């Protein structure tokens, strides 16, 4: 599923990018990580009081790999409507992938071992500073899709 999406020229480039970023991630880790990121971005967009803290917590977490940051920064600045649309698309794709993986496990169908997507389980490089009152740039407010 992910490889098909990653290579499909009919799919928006941002979707191909985030599909590629999920290759090698375990089905459950990828799904729940993308779901958490989508929820946090959606909360910020909807003005939920805990939204900014949640998004900063996800992006500044120093106890996990860089997967969520990779997905977020692949979409950041392109407009919140497109970001949420792409995250929902990916979440749906990963949910279906997880159902297939679960069925394979239940039926004891052998699968190929996955190569690790990341060489380390901790972040590599500078972290995002934790600031619950971060300023939302124009991609959160001046998105062309919000004007339609």
Predicted TM-score of the model (pTM): 0.78
**Is 135 part of any domain?**
no
Sign for the pseudo-dihedral over CA of 101, 102, 107, 112: positive
Buried b (16+ CB within 10 A) or exposed e, 51-88: bbbbbbebbebeeebbbbbbbbebbeeebbbbbbbbbe
> Residue 59 has which token pair?
């992006």
**Is 142 part of any domain?**
no
Distances (CA, A) of 84 to 24, 32, 89, 104, 122: 23, 15, 8, 30, 26
Minimum mean pLDDT among 18-22, 94-98, 128-132: which range? 128-132
**Is 29 part of any domain?**
yes
Q: What local confidence, expressed as pLDDT, does residue 143 receive? A: 64
> Residue 80 has which token pair?
């919140």
Q: What local confidence, expressed as pLDDT, does residue 75 receive? A: 96
**Is 46 part of any domain?**
yes
Q: What is the pLDDT of residues 4-22, one digit of tens each?
A: 999 999 999 999 999 999 9
Q: Which residues contact 115 (CB under 8 A, 6 or more apart)?
A: 24
Q: What is the pLDDT of residues 22-38, one digit of tens each?
A: 988 888 899 999 999 99
**Is 43 part of any domain?**
yes
Range(s) of the domain holding residue 76: 2-108
Q: What local confidence, expressed as pLDDT, does residue 27 receive? A: 87
Residue 95 pLDDT > 80: yes
Count: domains in the chain: 1
Q: What is the pLDDT of residues 48-74, one digit of tens each?
A: 999 999 999 898 887 666 899 999 999
**Is 86 part of any domain?**
yes
**Is 57 part of any domain?**
yes
**Is 127 part of any domain?**
no
Q: What local confidence, expressed as pLDDT, does residue 5 receive? A: 93
* Phi, psi angle pair for 130, to nearest 5°: -80, 110
* CA–CA separation, 20 and 74 (whole Å): 11
Residue 147 pLDDT > 80: no
């Amino acid at each position: 599923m992910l490889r098909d999406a990653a290579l499909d020229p009919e799919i928006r480039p941002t979707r191909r990018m985030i599909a590629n970023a999920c290759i090698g991630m375990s089905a459950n880790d990828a799904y729940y990580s993308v779901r958490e990121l989508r929820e946090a971005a959606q909360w910020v967009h909807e003005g939920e009081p805990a939204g900014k803290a949640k998004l900063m917590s996800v992006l500044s977490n120093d106890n996990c790999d860089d997967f969520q940051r990779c997905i977020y920064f692949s979409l950041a600045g392109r407009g919140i409507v497109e970001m949420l649309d792409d995250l929902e698309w990916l979440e749906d794709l990963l949910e279906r992938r997880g159902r297939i993986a679960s069925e394979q496990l239940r039926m004891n169908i052998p699968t190929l071992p996955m190569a690790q997507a990341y060489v380390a389980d901790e972040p590599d490089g500078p972290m995002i500073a934790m600031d619950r009152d971060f300023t939302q740039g124009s991609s959160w407010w001046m998105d062309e899709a919000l004007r339609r």
